[in-house]
C-alpha cells in the first residue's frame, strides 16, 4: 500500500510469492528473496532490505518528495521513525500475543504492554489531529493501521482510533490495493 500511496508503483517491481500461512497452507517459495521466506523484501541497487519498518524508512529517503514520505531533515522524521519502531517492537508483537493467547502473561505485558496501553498511545497521538504525525498522513499511518485491515476485531474500540482507521482505509490508494487483492 505504501508503494501505491507514494506513487512509485511503476518504479518498483512487485513479485507475488508464496509464504507459509498460519493455517498450514503455502510454504517457502524459491522466488522469494527474503532469507526467512517471509514478506516484504525490497532489493535496492543489489542490496536486500527486509522488514516493513526498514523498507518504509528507506523509501522515504529514496523518494523524499513522494506523498507519505518523511525523509531525513523533515520536522516529523523523529516521530515517523518512532511509529515505525513502535509498530515492529510493540504493536505487532501485542497483536500476535493476542492471537497466540499469551498477551496476558505478565512477562509479555511488562515487555510489550497490553492492548489498552496501545490504544491509549494511539488516542494520545491522534488527539486534535487526523493522523499520527503533526504534519499529516504518512506511511506510519499505513503501517499502524495494517493489522486492523486483516482483522477489524483487533481494532481498539475507541471513536478516535476508529475514525483514524476509517480515514486511512478510505484513501484512494488503499482502496485500489484492497480491490486488487480481492479481485
Of the candidates 141, 138, 139, 105, which has an alpha carbon nearest to the alpha carbon of residue 122? 141
Residue 24 has pLDDT above 90, yes or no: no
Q: Name which residue leads in pLDDT, 21 or 97.
A: 97
Q: How many Å apart are CA 77 and CA 147, to the nearest integer?
A: 23
- pLDDT category, 18, cuts 50, 70, 90? confident
Residue 66 has pLDDT above 80, yes or no: yes
Q: Give residue 86's Cα distance to chain centre.
A: 10
pLDDT of res. 19 = 83
Name every residue whose Cβ is closer than 8 Å to that of residue 133 and which is 6 or more positions away in sequence. 70, 76, 79, 80, 83, 140, 141
pLDDT 10s digits, 83-109:
999 999 999 999 999 989 998 999 989
Residue 31 has pLDDT above 90, yes or no: no
Name every residue whose Cβ is closer than 8 Å to that of residue 39 and which is 6 or more positions away in sequence. 17, 19, 32
Residue 70's region, left for phi above 0, alpha for psi from -120 to 50, else beta, is beta
Contact between 84 and 21 under an 8 Å Cβ cutoff? The reply is no
Contact between 19 and 35 under an 8 Å Cβ cutoff? The reply is no
Cell 483514524 found at: 164
Q: How many Å apart are CA 183 and CA 172, to the nearest integer?
A: 16
Q: How many Å apart are CA 15 and CA 181, to the nearest integer?
A: 13
Amino acid at each position: 500500500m505504501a508503494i501505491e500511496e507514494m506513487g512509485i508503483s511503476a518504479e518498483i517491481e512487485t513479485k507475488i510469492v508464496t509464504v507459509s500461512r498460519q493455517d498450514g497452507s503455502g510454504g517457502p517459495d524459491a522466488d522469494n528473496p527474503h532469507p526467512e521466506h517471509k514478506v516484504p523484501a525490497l532489493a535496492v541497487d543489489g542490496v536486500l532490505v527486509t522488514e516493513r519498518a526498514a523498507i518504509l524508512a528507506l523509501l522515504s529517503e529514496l523518494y523524499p518528495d513522494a506523498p507519505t514520505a518523511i525523509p531525513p531533515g523533515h520536522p516529523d522524521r523523529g516521530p515517523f521513525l518512532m511509529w515505525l519502531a513502535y509498530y515492529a517492537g510493540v504493536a505487532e508483537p501485542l497483536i500476535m500475543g493476542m492471537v497466540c493467547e499469551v498477551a496476558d502473561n505478565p512477562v509479555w505485558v511488562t515487555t510489550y504492554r497490553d492492548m489498552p496501553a496501545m490504544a491509549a498511545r494511539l488516542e494520545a497521538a491522534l488527539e486534535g489531529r487526523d493522523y499520527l504525525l503533526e504534519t499529516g498522513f504518512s506511511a506510519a499511518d499505513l503501517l499502524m493501521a495494517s493489522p486492523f485491515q486483516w482483522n477489524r476485531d483487533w481494532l481498539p474500540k475507541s471513536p478516535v482510533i476508529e475514525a483514524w482507521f476509517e480515514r486511512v482505509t478510505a484513501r484512494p490508494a488503499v482502496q485500489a490495493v484492497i480491490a486488487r487483492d480481492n479481485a
